[in-house]
Amino acid sequence: MLPFAEDNGLLLIFLLALGLAVVTLMLRGQRYMKRRRREEAADAANPAGGVHASPAAHPQNAPPELGQWEVQMHETARDLMGRLDSKMSALEALIAEADRAVGRLEAALSKTTEPPQPLDRQDEPPPASAAQAEPPDRGKVYMLADYGYDAAEIARRLGAPLGEIELILRLRGEGAERSGRSS
């Protein structure tokens, strides 16, 4: 008959929750109505047309220093919000630039012949066959150096002797000095 006939416990809990919500809403409504009646009675009894005599209710009755203080607080809050907004926009720009740099770094690393190895494998010597192969590509050495790898890490990644990598980097530095002097 009823869809909940099989599970009377669930139906009972649902009905209790519904009843509790109805009772709560009714109590709030009564409190609201009582408050409204009190305010209307106070407004009707006050000959000033609803203006309360309480000094806290009227800022015009406050000392002038309080008004000045309030203006200063609003100006300070506005200044702080401006500073925060500018810092947030600068931070967003830095994050975007970092994302672009990460993309460039990942693209450069994907172009190397050997996939990047974890840094915890630094003690392993380079493969013997790679050490006896042809000299490392200068472009790859320069690229890894530009991304901040030191000569030992570049040698390990490319499987080249450390002396060759240091020589290539030293020659690059001398070439940059010469071009800087000629211009």
Q: Dump pLDDT digits (tens) for 115-148.
A: 555 555 555 555 555 445 577 888 889 899 998 8
Please say whether the beta carbons of 158 and 136 come within 8 A: yes
Please say whether the beta carbons of 36 and 29 come within 8 A: no
pLDDT band at 54 (very low <50, low <70, confident <90, very high): very low
Q: What per-residue string of b and e applies to 45-57 under the rule 16 or more CB within 10 Å gives b?
A: eeeeeeeeeeeee
Read off the pTM.
Answer: 0.29
Average pLDDT over residues 90-110: 88
Whether residue 56 has pLDDT greater than 50: no
pLDDT digits (tens, 9 = 90+) for 159-175: 899 999 999 999 887 76
Share of the chain above pLDDT 90, in %: 34
